[in-house]
Amino acid sequence: MSEEYTVQENRTSPAWQLPAIVLLALIALGSLGFAWSNSAKLDATKQAVADQLKAAQTTYQQDMSTFKDRLTADEKTNTDLQGDLKVVTDKLKITQGQLRKARQDAEAQSAQITETVKTLDTSVHTELATKATSDDVKTVDTKVTTVSADLDKTKNDLNMARSELGTLIARNHDEIDVLRRQGERDYIEFTITGKNQPQKVGNATIELKGVNEKKNRSNIVYTVEDKKYEAKNANINAPIFFYQSGTHLPEEIVINKVGKNTISGYLSVPKANSQPVTAATKSGR
């Protein structure tokens, strides 16, 4: 009879298997926690980016609104400036036309004077060729001197500035004498010293209110026929026009010099204006 042996296997797990499983579990939990942390940070970052983007959009919209307002204001300003430029351009065209006419008149006068001098020179040479006496030479010299004086006077007239009404403007006493010799107007020179001291000048009263020596400007009040008028920031050698009742030609106040609380200049009165005034005076007597 044969013996039966029962072999029982005793299978035992190795000792390192359990710690390995625990370690893997810990690693898995750590990875899960790390992933959750990164997910939370990513959400926070996304929210921060969204907030910044929203703030940027708000700022952009505000900037665009401000830009549109400025653009509208600039367009309005540009339109206003274009209108002002057109007005100035139109006035400038008028001024240029007046200046062109004055230059043409001056050139015509100069050409006429040159022709007169040439004619006189020819006449002088003819007279000297036919007459050799000292008396004849003196007569010719007198003619030459007279023409030279007329030529100098005309040159002085051409060098003077003209007002917008075409009248010549004297800048000093010598030029006032030149205009006075023409006989078209009466010129009354004046000097006013001190403020708020009215001074009678011809048929007007002039009162100094203030001066600006650096800019050669002054403020005056002038009274004409019991009516007061104010001229502010009046430039030197710039006529101030006014009309007397019943006259058609303007009178002019011109300030030639500005000093410390003092001004000097002249009043220009057309001789045609003096007729109605004289007649009224005589009838009143």
Is residue 98, in this structure, part of any structural domain at all?
yes
Domain of 173, in residue numbers: 169-278
Is residue 67, in this structure, part of any structural domain at all?
yes
Is residue 45, in this structure, part of any structural domain at all?
yes
Provide the number of structural domains found in the chain. 2
Query: Is residue 151 domain-shared with residue 199, that is, in the same domain?
Result: no
Last residue of a domain, one of 100, 125, 159: 159
Distance in angstroms (rounded) separating the CA atoms of residues 136 and 122: 15
Last residue of a domain, one of 124, 159, 194: 159
Q: What stretches of the chain adopt beta strand conformation (E)?
A: 161-162, 168-169, 185-193, 199-201, 204-212, 217-224, 227-235, 240-242, 251-259, 262-270
Query: Is residue 174 domain-shared with residue 117, that is, in the same domain?
Result: no
Q: Beta-carbon neighbour count of residue 59 at 10 Å?
A: 10
Is residue 188, in this structure, part of any structural domain at all?
yes
Query: Is residue 152 domain-shared with residue 235, that is, in the same domain?
Result: no
Say whether pLDDT at 115 is over 60. yes
Distance in angstroms (rounded) separating the CA atoms of residues 249 and 241: 10
Is residue 10, in this structure, part of any structural domain at all?
no
Indicate whether this model's pTM tops 0.85: no
Give me the CATH number covering residue 231: 2.60.98
Instruction: From residue 100, give the alpha-carbon distance in Å to each of 107, 170, 179.
Output: 10, 21, 22
Q: Residue for token digits 């002019």?
A: 252
Task: Tell me what the pLDDT averaged over the chain comes to.
Answer: 78
Is residue 105, in this structure, part of any structural domain at all?
yes
Say whether pLDDT at 132 is over 70. no
Is residue 32, in this structure, part of any structural domain at all?
no
41-95 per-position pLDDT tens digit: 888 888 888 888 888 888 888 888 887 888 888 888 878 887 777 776 666 665 6
Last residue of a domain, one of 134, 159, 184: 159
pLDDT top residue among 6 and 270:
270
Query: Is residue 115 domain-shared with residue 185, that is, in the same domain?
Result: no
What number is the average pLDDT over the span 194-219? 93
160-199 per-position pLDDT tens digit: 777 777 788 999 999 999 999 988 899 999 999 999 999 9
pLDDT top residue among 136 and 172:
172
pLDDT of residue 280: 35
Distance in angstroms (rounded) separating the CA atoms of residues 55 and 126: 101
pLDDT of residue 193: 94
Query: Is residue 176 domain-shared with residue 131, that is, in the same domain?
Result: no
Is residue 3, in this structure, part of any structural domain at all?
no
